[in-house]
Structure 1
Amino acid sequence: MEKLYNKYEVYNRWLQDSDGYWQEFIEKTAGYIYWAKKPEKIFEWNPPNPFKWFVGGYTNAGYSAVDYKLGRFGDKTAYIYINPEASVERRITYGELYQLVCRISAALRAFGVKKGDTILVYMPNSIEAVAVLLAAARIGAVSSTVFAGFSPKAVADRIELVEPKIIFTQDYSLRRGRRIALKENIDEALKLSTWRPQAVVVKRALGEEKEPPMERGRDMWLEEFLEMGKHGNCTPEFVESNEPLFVLPTSGTTAKPKPVVHVHGGYQVWIVHGALLVYGLSSDDVIFNTSDIGWIVGQSYIVFAPTIMGTTSILFDGAIDYPKPDLFWEIIEKYKPTLIWTSPTAARMLMRLGVSHARRHDLSSVKRVVTAGEVLNPEVWRWLYEEAFQKNVPVIDHWWQTELGGPAIGYYYALVKDMPVGLEFMEIKPGSAGVPLPGVEVEVVDERGNAVSAGQKGTLVLKRPFPGMTPTLWKDHKRYMAEYWERYEGKLVYYTGDAAYIDDEGYVWFGGRADEVIKIAGHRIGTIEVESALLTHPAVAEAAVVGVPDPIRGEAIAAFVVLKPSWRPTEELRKELIEHVRKTFGPIAVFAGLEFVNMLPKTRSGKIMRRVLKRLWTGEPIGDISTIEDEASVEEIREAISRLKVVKVSE
Structure 2
Amino acid sequence: MDLVNPIVRRWLAEAEEDPDAFWARAAEELHWFRPWKRVFQHEFPSFRWFVGGETNLAYGALDRHVAAGRSGHTALVYANERGERRALTYAQLLHEVERTSAALRGLGVEKGDRITLYMPTCPEAIVLMLAAARIGAIHLVVFAGFGAGALSSRVVASGSRVVFTADVTWRKGKETRLKEIVDDALAIDRGAVEHVVVLRRGATPPPWTGARDVAWPEFLALGGGHSGACEPMEANEPAFILATSGTTARPKLAIHVHGGYGVHVHAMGRWCFGLRPSDVWWSTSDIGWIVGHSYIVYAPLLTGCTTVAYEGALDHPGPETLWKIVEELRVTGLFTSPTAVRLLMKYGAAPARGFDHRSLERVFCAGEVLNPPAWEWLQREVLRDRVPVIDHMWQTETGGPVFGNPYGLAMLPIKPGSAGLPLPGIEATVVSAQDGRPVPPGEKGIMVLTRPFPGLTPTLWGEPERYASDYWQRIPGVYYTGDSAHVDEDGYVFFAGRADEIIKIAGHKLGTIEVETAFLTHPAVAEAGVTGRPDPVRGEVVSAFVALRQGHEPSAALRRELVEAVRRELGPVAVIGEVNFVRTLPKTRSGKIMRRVFKAVILDRDPGDITTIEDEGSVDEARRAWAEMRAELAAQRPEAGAEP
Aligned-partner SS, 1:366 = coil
1:450 to 437, 440, 450: 437
**Structure 1 residue 21 corresponds to structure 2 residue 49:** no
- Consecutive unaligned residues in structure 2, runs of 5 or more: 503-511, 517-530, 532-541, 549-584, 586-590, 631-636
**Structure 1 residue 221 corresponds to structure 2 residue 215:** yes
Mark the CA change 1:583 to 1:277 in structure 2 (over 3 Å): closer, same or farther.
closer
Q: Which amino acid aligns with 1:390?
A: R
CA–CA separation in structure 2 for the residues paired with 1:280 and 1:17 = 24
Give the CA deviation at 1:380.
1.2
**Structure 1 residue 431 corresponds to structure 2 residue 417:** yes
**Could you tell me which residue of structure 1 aligns to residue 561 of structure 2?**
none
CA–CA separation in structure 1 for the residues paired with 2:292 and 2:156 = 23
**Could you tell me which residue of structure 2 aligns to residue 540 of structure 1?**
none
Contact 1:582/1:589, CA 8 A, preserved across alignment: no
**Could you tell me which residue of structure 2 aligns to residue 41 of structure 1?**
38
Contact 1:171/1:201, CA 8 A, preserved across alignment: yes
2:118 to 115, 122, 127: 122
Mark the CA change 1:189 to 1:547 in structure 2 (over 3 Å): closer, same or farther.
farther
**Could you tell me which residue of structure 1 aligns to residue 498 of structure 2?**
513
Give the CA deviation at 1:486.
2.5
**Structure 1 residue 306 corresponds to structure 2 residue 344:** no
For residues 400-479 of structure 1, what are the structure 2 equivalents within 5 Å? 400-415=394-409, 424-448=410-434, 449-479=436-466
For residues 471-490 of structure 1, what are the structure 2 equivalents within 5 Å? 471-486=458-473, 488=475
Q: For this pair of structures, how many residues does the alignment match? A: 554
Give TM-score, length-normalised by structure 2. 0.81
Contact 1:596/1:640, CA 8 A, preserved across alignment: no
**Could you tell me which residue of structure 2 aligns to residue 495 of structure 1?**
480
Mark the CA change 1:295 to 1:547 in structure 2 (over 3 Å): closer, same or farther.
farther
Give the RMSD, CA atoms, in angstroms: 3.1
CA–CA separation in structure 1 for the residues paired with 2:437 and 2:65 = 48
Aligned-partner SS, 1:220 = strand
2:233 to 223, 232, 239: 239
Contact 1:547/1:555, CA 8 A, preserved across alignment: no
Contact 1:274/1:407, CA 8 A, preserved across alignment: yes
Contact 1:105/1:135, CA 8 A, preserved across alignment: yes
Give the CA deviation at 1:17.
1.1
For residues 374-389 of structure 1, what are the structure 2 equivalents within 5 Å? 374-389=368-383
Contact 1:486/1:492, CA 8 A, preserved across alignment: yes
CA–CA separation in structure 1 for the residues paired with 2:285 and 2:407 = 21
Q: Which amino acid aligns with 1:13?
A: E
**Structure 1 residue 212 corresponds to structure 2 residue 252:** no
Q: Which stretch of the first structure deviates more once superposed, 193-202 or 121-130?
A: 193-202
Mark the CA change 1:298 to 1:549 in structure 2 (over 3 Å): closer, same or farther.
farther
Q: Which amino acid aligns with 1:199?
A: V
Aligned-partner SS, 2:217 = helix
What are the superposed Cα offsets for residues 318-368 of structure 1, whole Å, 9 maximum, x if unpaired? 111101121111111111100011001111111221111111110100010
For residues 24-423 of structure 1, what are the structure 2 equivalents within 5 Å? 24-27=25-28, 29=29, 33-48=30-45, 50-71=46-67, 72-85=69-82, 87-197=83-193, 198-205=195-202, 209-251=203-245, 255-415=249-409
**Could you tell me which residue of structure 1 aligns to residue 598 of structure 2?**
558
Q: Which amino acid aligns with 2:408?
A: A
2:618 to 575, 587, 590: 590
Mark the CA change 1:547 to 1:159 in structure 2 (over 3 Å): closer, same or farther.
farther
What are the superposed Cα offsets for residues 123-151 of structure 1, whole Å, 9 maximum, x if unpaired? 11000000000000000000000011211
Give the CA deviation at 1:90.
1.1
CA–CA separation in structure 2 for the residues paired with 1:582 and 1:641 = 30
Give the CA deviation at 1:239.
0.8
CA–CA separation in structure 2 for the residues paired with 1:507 and 1:229 = 52
Give the CA deviation at 1:308.
0.8
- Consecutive unaligned residues in structure 1, runs of 5 or more: 416-423, 521-526, 528-544, 564-568, 599-615, 617-634, 644-651
Mark the CA change 1:492 to 1:5 in structure 2 (over 3 Å): closer, same or farther.
farther
**Could you tell me which residue of structure 1 aligns to residue 570 of structure 2?**
none
Mark the CA change 1:159 to 1:445 in structure 2 (over 3 Å): closer, same or farther.
same
Aligned-partner SS, 2:407 = coil
Mark the CA change 1:554 to 1:259 in structure 2 (over 3 Å): closer, same or farther.
closer
Q: Which amino acid aligns with 1:38?
A: P
Contact 1:291/1:298, CA 8 A, preserved across alignment: yes
What are the superposed Cα offsets for residues 458-497 of structure 1, whole Å, 9 maximum, x if unpaired? 1101111111000000122111011111264xx5100000
